[in-house]
Amino acid sequence: MASNTETILVHEGQHFNSTAAVTAPIFQTSTYIADSDPAEYIKAATEPKHPYFYHRHGNPTNSQVAAVVAKLEKTEDALVFATGMAAISTAILAIVKSGDHIVAQLAHYSGTAIFFKEFLTDYGISVTAVDQTDTAAFAHAIQENTKLIYIETPSNPNLNITDLKAVGELAKQHDILSMVDNTFASPINQTPRDFGIDIVVHSATKYLGGHSDLTAGIVCGSQDYIAKVWKRSVALGASLAPLDSWLLLRGLKTLSLRVKQINSNALELASFLDRHPKIKNVSYPGLSSHPQHELAAHQMRGFSGMICIEVDGTDEEQAFKNAQALINNLEIFINAASLGGVESLIVHPASMWGGHHTQAQKKASGITLGMLRISVGIENIADLIEDLEQALRKLD
């Protein structure tokens, strides 16, 4: 089978479709007829990800999707989940137990931050959060009971970069595992395995699905590790539903086309915003003004569609009002959470996470009142720039 990305996206995992249909059917069934040979049936019941036993154990489309993403992420195997958080939490619970320690970042996706702070600590697992831009801080945080370094790059929402190679090497030195949330980059722009990271997780709800019509998650790693994750998933139960799996497989076929268009749109839009007098700051790893642009350029092939901007204002309160007004003035950009779809979205992180994060937590993860996060879609770039231009013109 070919090993080029665009071909993998269209053809990988085809052998999991046992029918003559060119497009894999939706296996909308909870259970499968048992093999008449009892030995075969026992095998079906116990083998990780067996596609024809019971849905929580496996499904042919789930296997096909996993094969596509594992190939892209250059891992031996992968397992799909009902959401990104199901993938992340199950992936971590397959590694740590009570008494263990994790080194993570100050800035993480809000659900992950909550899982670390409010869930794991209740089960006797401690987490040290470090500044992701400070490579030495990861080394300093390692303890005797550390089992995992968990990173996210570019991170949510301020698009800081973690040095993948440095973390990969550090984990190897200490004989512990490294795991990265690769959601923001997508496998088109970043392959963490190339830099020695062991495990890759995604919210497939975002770029992988790409049409804002499903939730899904995926864990990619070695075959032995995925077998452990599968065992945990059978107990925790967040398996991806057949229709969502089919939609994800369909979305993946155009991942490369979509992400290329998004990379190009985002770079143009970020440059436009960077020049605009009413924008105080633009954070986009593809701009040379990004403090870690060089590192980003070293470990990413493209810079993805996430842009973080700070609207100007005489003080924080005014910046907050301007940010809200800008959102309301926009006609094409949709004010909604989530990212990675074909449509451009914009959100105000300080409001979105207001209920979950304390002021101190928001400050630690770098969230300010005038900050807006943009997920650039595949629309015509001239229309996107024009929309922002007219919305900014209306601000005082």
Ligand X SMILES: *Cc1c(COP(=O)(O)O)cnc(C)c1O
Which of these segments, 22-30, 38-46, 198-206, 352-360, binds ligand X (CB under 6 A)?
198-206
Q: Which two tokens stand for residue 114?
A: 């909550």
> What is the rounded (10 degree) CA torsion for 264, 266, 272, 275?
-120
Size of the site for ligand X (CB under 6 A): 16
Residue 105: strand pairing partners = 130
Is position 150 an interface residue for ligand X (rule: CB under 6 A)?
A: no
Q: Which is nearer to ligand X, 170 or 200 (CB)?
A: 200
Is position 313 an interface residue for ligand X (rule: CB under 6 A)?
A: no
Q: Which is nearer to ligand X, 183 or 322 (CB)?
A: 183
Give the position of tokens 């943009």. 374
Among 32, 52, 115, 184, binds ligand X (CB under 6 A): 184
Give the position of tokens 């979105």. 352
Is position 85 an interface residue for ligand X (rule: CB under 6 A)?
A: yes
The whole-angstrom separation of Cα 8 and Cα 43 is 29
Is position 304 an interface residue for ligand X (rule: CB under 6 A)?
A: no
Residue type, 76: E
Residue 127: strand pairing partners = 102
Is position 274 an interface residue for ligand X (rule: CB under 6 A)?
A: no
Is position 217 an interface residue for ligand X (rule: CB under 6 A)?
A: yes
The residue length of the chain stands at 396
Is position 189 an interface residue for ligand X (rule: CB under 6 A)?
A: no
Among 75, 146, 178, 215, binds ligand X (CB under 6 A): 215
* Segment 103 to 122, residues that bind ligand X, using CB under 6 A: 109, 111-112
Main-chain dihedrals φ then ψ at residue 179, nearest 5 degrees: -135, 135
Residue 22: CB atoms within 10 A of its CB come to: 7
Q: Which is nearer to ligand X, 145 or 338 (CB)?
A: 338
Q: Which is nearer to ligand X, 44 or 218 (CB)?
A: 218
Q: Which is nearer to ligand X, 17 or 61 (CB)?
A: 61
Phi-psi region of 57 (alpha: psi -120 to 50; beta: other; left: phi over 0): alpha
Which of these segments, 21-29, 95-103, 199-207, 359-367, binds ligand X (CB under 6 A)?
199-207
DSSP per-residue codes, 154-216? SPTTT-----HHHHHHHHHHTT-EEEEE-TTTHHHH--GGGGT--EEEEETTTTTT-SSS---
Work out whether strand 177-181 and strand 199-203 pair parallel, antiparallel, or are unpaired.
parallel
Is position 244 an interface residue for ligand X (rule: CB under 6 A)?
A: no
Which of these segments, 83-91, 135-143, 218-226, 310-318, binds ligand X (CB under 6 A)?
83-91
Is position 83 an interface residue for ligand X (rule: CB under 6 A)?
A: yes
CB of 107 vs ligand X, minimal distance in Å: 10
Among 181, 198, 244, 274, binds ligand X (CB under 6 A): 181
Residue nearest to ligand X according to CB distances in the complex: 84
Which of these segments, 61-69, 81-89, 185-193, 375-383, binds ligand X (CB under 6 A)?
81-89
- Give the rounded distance of the alpha carbon of 316 from its chain centre: 30
Helix, coil or strand: residue 225: helix
Helix, coil or strand: residue 280: strand
Q: Which is nearer to ligand X, 111 or 196 (CB)?
A: 111
Active site residue ranges: 56, 109, 181, 206
Contacts of 20 (CB under 8 A, 6+ apart): none
Site string for ligand X, 2-31 (x = CB under 6 A): ------------------------------
Q: Which two tokens stand for residue 363?
A: 């400050």
Q: What is the DSSP letter of 286?
A: T
CB of 303 vs ligand X, minimal distance in Å: 15
Residue 49: strand pairing partners = none
Interface residue list for ligand X (CB under 6 A):
83-85, 109, 111-112, 152, 156, 181, 183-184, 203, 205-206, 215, 217
